[in-house]
Amino acid sequence: MTMTTTAVHAAATGSPAYTETMPCRPESARKARILVALALSAWDLDGLVDDAKLVVSEFVGNSAEHAGCHLIRVTVARLGPDRVRLAVIDKSVTKPTPRTASADDENGRGLSVVAALAETTGTDTFRWGKRTWADLRIPGAGQ
């Protein structure tokens, strides 16, 4: 039996956040995309959904392929009026490393796509694992 939990809470910044724990498997990318779409829809940010789904799919896929853990946590947080942060937390301390894919490679472009879509990206490491995140700018906000 697989256990998942979804929670809506105020983040440390006082801003709303949606979070869900799910299995560390490629199939969890679908659940992560649903979580992202629901959060962005609740904040009336439907224009970010496609980019956000690509970002979270890449992060979940990387965790499933490289982290070797049983569970991941996906978080969607509204950092302010102009930014949304997407994050995936896993138990691996190894940071994702972008690589240059050749024209024939089937893999290796995901982090480049994330960097192109996000305003900023990063990885926070902890003694027990890491949080990989990307901040997306809300179109038309703060301009």
Q: What is the DSSP string of 16-34?
A: EEEEEEEESSTTHHHHHHH
Assign domain 5-137 to its CATH architecture: 2-Layer Sandwich (3.30)
- How do the domains of the chain map onto residue ranges? 5-137
Dihedral of the alpha carbons of 10, 13, 15, 21, in degrees to the nearest 10: -50
pTM: 0.82
Helix, strand, or coil (residue 117) = helix
Residue 46 per-residue DSSP state: G
Say what the pLDDT of residue 61 is. Answer: 92
List pLDDT tens digits, range 38-83: 999 999 999 999 999 999 999 999 899 888 889 999 999 999 889 9
5's CB contacts (< 8 A; 6+ apart) are 20, 21
Asked if 32 and 57 touch (Cβ cutoff 8 Å), the reply is yes
Residues in the chain: 143
